[in-house]
Amino acid sequence: MSPRTIRAAAVALAALATVAAGCTQLVPLGRTSPLLADEESAVGRAGAPQVSARFGGALDIPMVQAYVRTIGERVARPAAQARWPYRFTVLASGQPRLFSLPGGQIFVTRGLLAQLDNEAELAGLLARQMVFIDRHYDEVQSGVSPSVLVEAADGDAESMAKVVAIWPDLGYTDAQESEADLRGLDYLAAAGYHPQEMVRLVKRFGHPRSASADAWAAAVRQAIDRKYPADGGRVGREEFAREVLDRLKAVEPAVKDRP
C-alpha cells in the first residue's frame, strides 16, 4: 500500500470518527485532505484542461482573459490567508458558472460575465470564491472519495475524470455562503472597491439554498454600516462595459452555440 493510500485511509477513518461523535463544527483552514499541498496543485493543473473542455474551452478573447486575471489578482492581494496562488480562467460556456479546482484554479464563464453590471461585481464574485477556497476547501473536498483524489494525484486518468465531473458541482452550506458574503466583503473593500456592490451582488444572484436573497443582503448591509460607513470605492461600470461586455458582444455570433 502506497503512503498516499495509507494517508487517504487515515483521513477517511478520521472523517467517520467525527461523524460518529456528532461533531459538525467547521474548522477553518484545517487540513483534512488526503493530499499534500503540492499534490492538490498538481491535480488542479492536470484537471484544468478537462474542466475547460467541459465548459466550452477557454474563451478566445485574450483581452477579456487578461482583464479578469488582473481583477482577480487585485482582489487576492488582501487575502492574507490565501492558501494558493490563484489562477483565473474565463471559459466560453454560456452557462452562468463560477467554480474552482484544487490548487487555486478559479473559472468563470462567459455566461456569468455577461450577467454582471460592473467590475466591482466581478471582484465580489471572485472574492467569495477565494473565501470558499481559503476557508472551506477541505469540507467541500470531503465530497470526493479520498481514494479518488489519491489516484488522481498518482496520474490515474479515470480518477481524474471523476474529479473533473464532480468538483464544479460541489456545493456549500448556508453558513459557508454567509461567511463568503461577509469575508468576501472585506476582500472587496481592501481591494478598493465600493462595498455596497456586494449588497447588489447578493440581491441579484442570491444563494441556491437560501429562501430569501433579501435576508442575505441585509446581513451584508449591516456589516457595511458597521465596518465601512464612509461608503466609497471603485465600481468600474464603464471599464467593465468596455473591457468585457462590448468584447463579448463583438464575438457573440461565434460563441452563441457553446454549451
Q: How many CB atoms lie within 10 A of CB 155?
A: 11
Q: Which amino acid is at 61?
A: I
Q: What share of the chain is helix, strand, coil (3-state, %, to 5)?
A: 60, 5, 30
Q: What is the pLDDT of residue 141?
A: 61
* Mean pLDDT over the full length of the chain: 80
Alpha carbons 195 and 186: distance in angstroms, whole number: 8
**DSSP code of 101?**
E
What is the side-by-side strand order in the sheet with 98-101? Answer: 87-91, 105-109, 98-101
| Cα–Cα distance list, 93 to 55, 56, 214, 251, 252 (Å) | 5, 5, 29, 13, 11
Alpha carbons 73 and 56: distance in angstroms, whole number: 24
Q: What is the pLDDT of residue 210?
A: 65
Pair 201, 182: CB distance under 8 Å: no
Q: Lowest-pLDDT range, 2-16, 160-174, 206-220?
A: 2-16
Q: What is the pLDDT of residue 28?
A: 33
C-alpha cell at 156: 490515474
Domain that holds residue 31: 3-255
Q: 105: part of which helix (H) or strand (E)?
A: strand 105-109
Give the pLDDT band of residue 53 (cuts 50, 70, 90). very high
More confident residue, 7 or 204: 204
Pair 179, 69: CB distance under 8 Å: no
Report the share of the chain in percent with pLDDT over 70.
Answer: 78
More confident residue, 93 or 15: 93
Q: Comparing C-alpha atoms, which of 43, 6, 256, 41 is closest to residue 166?
A: 43
Burial class (CB in 10 A: 0-12, 13-18, 19+), 189: buried
Q: What is the pLDDT of residue 216?
A: 85
Tens of pLDDT, residue by residue over 172-200, are 788 888 888 999 999 999 999 999 999 99
Tens of pLDDT, residue by residue over 206-256, are 776 666 778 888 999 999 999 998 878 999 999 999 999 999 999 875 555
**pTM for this prediction:** 0.82
Give the pLDDT band of residue 12 (cuts 50, 70, 90). very low
Query: Considering its fold, how many domains does the chain have in total?
Result: 1
C-alpha cell at 167: 468538483
